[in-house]
Amino acid sequence: RRLNGIYPDKRLAQAALRATRTGVFPLGAHGAGRFAKTGGLFGCNAYSGQGGAFRQIGDLKIAAFVVVNAMGVITTRDGRVAACFPDAHWPKELRTADLLAHFPASAKPGSTLSAPIEGDRRNTTVSLIVVNRKMTAAQLQRLATHVHSSMSRAIQPFSTEYDGDVLYAVATDEIES
């Protein structure tokens, strides 16, 4: 049974290519981030989407893109949950530590701190880092490791057994190191 009348095919791919604009990366609920959610591990199920950033330092250019569809919750720098549709009985100042302290018990029906994990979970946070610098394979792998590891500060917990997180790192070799 088909869930909707739109499915990826050659015509849809051509339409997507024609819709692209140089220097534009839509943020939020666009493209691959259209139905992305976070916090499913705790029942938050907040829509997240896709994000991007660009920085130029001299001749060095760095671009980062991500689609966040994580089981964990998005947190602020001080550990508060930034995006969640909380249960009415949850504390107003919800912290990731509160959710994790009661897990897995918090995943049981009737808990006031979390909703149960239901069904087959398929979550993936997909990231891309592009630099215009010439880099060896080892340097590029180290960059990818640092960037991917740093995501655990904002997504908690990160890379759970329900996630299929992946990060791609690309160097265009336009400038020397």
What are the residues whose beta carbons fall under 8 Å from the beta carbon of 19, sequence distance 6 or more? none
The beta strands (E) that lie in 99-161 are given as 126-133, 155-156
Which residue is listed with tokens 């339409």? 15
Decide the pairing of beta strands 73-74 and 155-156: antiparallel
CB atoms within 10 A of CB 164: 11
Tokens of 46: 């907040």
Cis peptide leading into residue 86 (ω within 30°): no
Catalytic residue among 76, 124, 160, 172: 124
Q: What is the dihedral of CA 40, 46, 50, 52, to 10 degrees?
A: -110
Question: Does residue 124 carry a catalytic annotation?
Answer: yes
Which sequence positions are flagged as catalytic? 124
